[in-house]
Amino acid sequence: MNATKRAEIFARLQADNPEPTTELNYQSVFELLIAVILSAQATDKSVNKATAGLFAAANTPGKILALGEEKLKSTIQSIGLYNSKASNIIKTCALLCEQHQSQVPDNRKDLEALPGVGRKTANVILNTAFGHPTIAVDTHIFRVSNRTRIAPGKNVDAVEQKLLKVVPKKYAIDAHHWLILLGRYTCVARSPKCEFCLIQDLCEYSDKVIKR
Protein backbone atom coordinates (compact mmCIF):
# COMPACT_ATOMS: atom_id res chain seq x y z
CA MET A 1 0.00 0.00 0.00
CA ASN A 2 1.33 3.43 -0.90
CA ALA A 3 1.40 6.63 1.13
CA THR A 4 -1.40 8.25 -0.85
CA LYS A 5 -3.80 5.45 -0.02
CA ARG A 6 -2.86 5.48 3.63
CA ALA A 7 -3.39 9.23 3.86
CA GLU A 8 -6.83 8.92 2.29
CA ILE A 9 -7.77 6.07 4.63
CA PHE A 10 -6.99 8.11 7.73
CA ALA A 11 -8.60 11.22 6.27
CA ARG A 12 -11.85 9.29 5.86
CA LEU A 13 -11.64 7.79 9.33
CA GLN A 14 -11.08 11.25 10.78
CA ALA A 15 -13.99 12.74 8.85
CA ASP A 16 -16.27 9.99 10.13
CA ASN A 17 -15.08 10.23 13.75
CA PRO A 18 -13.16 13.46 14.46
CA GLU A 19 -12.62 12.82 18.18
CA PRO A 20 -12.25 9.09 18.78
CA THR A 21 -11.53 7.76 22.24
CA THR A 22 -11.49 4.56 24.23
CA GLU A 23 -14.75 2.79 25.05
CA LEU A 24 -13.53 2.12 28.58
CA ASN A 25 -15.23 4.26 31.22
CA TYR A 26 -12.91 6.29 33.44
CA GLN A 27 -12.74 9.62 35.26
CA SER A 28 -9.01 9.82 35.99
CA VAL A 29 -5.70 8.57 34.64
CA PHE A 30 -5.56 6.08 37.49
CA GLU A 31 -9.01 4.71 36.66
CA LEU A 32 -7.93 4.37 33.03
CA LEU A 33 -4.83 2.45 34.08
CA ILE A 34 -6.86 -0.01 36.15
CA ALA A 35 -9.44 -0.42 33.39
CA VAL A 36 -6.76 -1.16 30.79
CA ILE A 37 -5.06 -3.70 33.06
CA LEU A 38 -8.44 -5.41 33.49
CA SER A 39 -9.18 -5.31 29.76
CA ALA A 40 -6.57 -7.93 28.82
CA GLN A 41 -8.49 -10.85 27.28
CA ALA A 42 -11.77 -9.18 28.27
CA THR A 43 -14.28 -6.98 26.50
CA ASP A 44 -14.60 -3.28 27.28
CA LYS A 45 -18.26 -3.91 28.15
CA SER A 46 -17.36 -6.47 30.83
CA VAL A 47 -14.64 -4.20 32.21
CA ASN A 48 -17.00 -1.22 32.42
CA LYS A 49 -19.52 -3.35 34.29
CA ALA A 50 -16.90 -4.40 36.84
CA THR A 51 -15.26 -1.01 37.27
CA ALA A 52 -18.59 0.73 37.87
CA GLY A 53 -18.75 -0.96 41.24
CA LEU A 54 -15.02 -0.92 41.88
CA PHE A 55 -14.50 2.78 41.25
CA ALA A 56 -17.55 3.70 43.32
CA ALA A 57 -15.85 2.00 46.26
CA ALA A 58 -12.17 2.65 45.52
CA ASN A 59 -10.78 4.90 42.81
CA THR A 60 -7.29 5.77 44.07
CA PRO A 61 -4.23 3.62 44.76
CA GLY A 62 -4.63 4.09 48.49
CA LYS A 63 -8.30 3.18 48.50
CA ILE A 64 -7.69 0.01 46.50
CA LEU A 65 -4.92 -0.99 48.89
CA ALA A 66 -7.33 -0.40 51.77
CA LEU A 67 -9.93 -2.50 49.98
CA GLY A 68 -7.52 -5.43 49.95
CA GLU A 69 -6.81 -8.15 47.43
CA GLU A 70 -9.63 -10.52 48.43
CA LYS A 71 -12.30 -7.82 48.26
CA LEU A 72 -10.83 -6.64 44.97
CA LYS A 73 -11.07 -10.17 43.58
CA SER A 74 -14.73 -10.44 44.53
CA THR A 75 -15.43 -7.11 42.85
CA ILE A 76 -13.79 -8.04 39.53
CA GLN A 77 -14.47 -11.80 39.47
CA SER A 78 -16.73 -11.47 36.41
CA ILE A 79 -13.61 -10.68 34.37
CA GLY A 80 -11.26 -13.37 33.06
CA LEU A 81 -7.96 -13.88 34.87
CA TYR A 82 -9.29 -11.87 37.81
CA ASN A 83 -6.99 -13.56 40.34
CA SER A 84 -3.76 -12.55 38.61
CA LYS A 85 -5.18 -9.15 37.67
CA ALA A 86 -6.13 -8.43 41.27
CA SER A 87 -2.65 -9.40 42.44
CA ASN A 88 -1.02 -7.13 39.85
CA ILE A 89 -3.34 -4.23 40.65
CA ILE A 90 -2.54 -4.42 44.37
CA LYS A 91 1.21 -4.49 43.61
CA THR A 92 0.83 -1.61 41.15
CA CYS A 93 -1.09 0.48 43.66
CA ALA A 94 1.61 -0.11 46.26
CA LEU A 95 4.32 1.04 43.83
CA LEU A 96 2.30 4.11 42.84
CA CYS A 97 1.99 5.08 46.50
CA GLU A 98 5.61 4.31 47.34
CA GLN A 99 7.39 5.69 44.29
CA HIS A 100 5.07 8.07 42.43
CA GLN A 101 3.07 9.99 45.05
CA SER A 102 -0.02 7.98 44.01
CA GLN A 103 0.18 9.41 40.49
CA VAL A 104 0.36 7.43 37.24
CA PRO A 105 3.73 8.12 35.58
CA ASP A 106 3.75 9.66 32.11
CA ASN A 107 6.76 7.80 30.71
CA ARG A 108 7.18 4.32 29.28
CA LYS A 109 9.97 3.16 31.59
CA ASP A 110 8.03 3.78 34.79
CA LEU A 111 4.75 2.54 33.36
CA GLU A 112 6.23 -0.75 32.19
CA ALA A 113 7.79 -1.24 35.63
CA LEU A 114 4.29 -1.53 37.10
CA PRO A 115 3.00 -5.11 37.57
CA GLY A 116 0.45 -6.00 34.91
CA VAL A 117 1.59 -3.22 32.58
CA GLY A 118 3.29 -4.32 29.37
CA ARG A 119 4.07 -2.38 26.24
CA LYS A 120 0.49 -2.43 24.93
CA THR A 121 -0.99 -1.12 28.17
CA ALA A 122 1.71 1.53 28.43
CA ASN A 123 0.96 2.64 24.88
CA VAL A 124 -2.73 3.03 25.70
CA ILE A 125 -1.99 5.15 28.77
CA LEU A 126 0.61 7.28 26.99
CA ASN A 127 -1.77 7.89 24.09
CA THR A 128 -5.15 8.27 25.74
CA ALA A 129 -4.12 9.95 28.98
CA PHE A 130 -1.04 11.92 27.96
CA GLY A 131 -1.47 12.54 24.23
CA HIS A 132 1.62 10.69 23.00
CA PRO A 133 1.48 9.43 19.38
CA THR A 134 1.72 5.78 20.41
CA ILE A 135 -0.17 2.84 18.93
CA ALA A 136 -1.13 -0.12 21.10
CA VAL A 137 -1.48 -3.08 18.76
CA ASP A 138 -4.20 -5.42 19.98
CA THR A 139 -5.88 -8.23 18.04
CA HIS A 140 -8.12 -5.76 16.20
CA ILE A 141 -5.30 -3.49 15.05
CA PHE A 142 -3.13 -6.47 14.15
CA ARG A 143 -5.91 -7.92 11.99
CA VAL A 144 -6.84 -4.63 10.30
CA SER A 145 -3.23 -3.69 9.60
CA ASN A 146 -2.51 -7.02 7.94
CA ARG A 147 -5.83 -7.54 6.18
CA THR A 148 -6.01 -4.09 4.62
CA ARG A 149 -2.22 -4.02 4.07
CA ILE A 150 -1.97 -0.66 5.83
CA ALA A 151 0.90 -2.00 7.89
CA PRO A 152 1.46 -5.74 7.49
CA GLY A 153 3.66 -7.57 9.97
CA LYS A 154 4.23 -11.03 11.37
CA ASN A 155 3.73 -10.03 15.00
CA VAL A 156 2.37 -7.15 17.06
CA ASP A 157 5.77 -5.51 17.49
CA ALA A 158 6.38 -5.52 13.74
CA VAL A 159 2.95 -4.04 13.08
CA GLU A 160 3.45 -1.35 15.71
CA GLN A 161 6.78 -0.28 14.26
CA LYS A 162 5.34 -0.27 10.74
CA LEU A 163 2.36 1.86 11.80
CA LEU A 164 4.61 4.33 13.59
CA LYS A 165 6.55 4.67 10.36
CA VAL A 166 3.72 4.94 7.84
CA VAL A 167 0.82 6.70 9.60
CA PRO A 168 0.91 10.38 8.60
CA LYS A 169 1.93 12.51 11.58
CA LYS A 170 -1.27 14.56 11.51
CA TYR A 171 -3.24 11.40 12.27
CA ALA A 172 -0.81 9.74 14.70
CA ILE A 173 -2.58 10.66 17.94
CA ASP A 174 -5.92 9.16 16.92
CA ALA A 175 -4.84 6.31 14.64
CA HIS A 176 -4.92 3.84 17.54
CA HIS A 177 -8.60 4.46 18.24
CA TRP A 178 -9.71 4.53 14.60
CA LEU A 179 -8.09 1.20 13.82
CA ILE A 180 -9.49 -0.49 16.92
CA LEU A 181 -13.02 0.70 16.15
CA LEU A 182 -12.68 -0.36 12.52
CA GLY A 183 -11.62 -3.83 13.62
CA ARG A 184 -14.20 -4.10 16.38
CA TYR A 185 -17.26 -3.15 14.35
CA THR A 186 -16.53 -3.46 10.62
CA CYS A 187 -13.34 -5.35 9.80
CA VAL A 188 -14.33 -8.15 12.16
CA ALA A 189 -12.47 -11.45 12.36
CA ARG A 190 -15.16 -13.53 10.70
CA SER A 191 -17.12 -12.25 7.72
CA PRO A 192 -15.81 -8.67 7.62
CA LYS A 193 -18.50 -6.16 6.68
CA CYS A 194 -16.74 -4.92 3.57
CA GLU A 195 -19.90 -3.52 2.00
CA PHE A 196 -20.31 -1.09 4.92
CA CYS A 197 -16.64 -0.13 5.20
CA LEU A 198 -15.56 3.47 4.70
CA ILE A 199 -12.31 2.39 3.12
CA GLN A 200 -13.34 -0.69 1.12
CA ASP A 201 -12.20 0.84 -2.19
CA LEU A 202 -8.76 1.58 -0.71
CA CYS A 203 -8.34 -1.68 1.19
CA GLU A 204 -6.06 -4.29 -0.36
CA TYR A 205 -7.71 -7.30 1.29
CA SER A 206 -7.56 -9.96 -1.41
CA ASP A 207 -10.69 -11.82 -0.22
CA LYS A 208 -12.98 -8.87 0.35
CA VAL A 209 -16.53 -9.30 -0.91
CA ILE A 210 -18.70 -6.34 -1.82
CA LYS A 211 -22.35 -7.34 -1.91
CA ARG A 212 -24.38 -5.75 -4.67
Residues classed as catalytic:
120, 138
Neighbours of 45 (CB within 10 A): 10
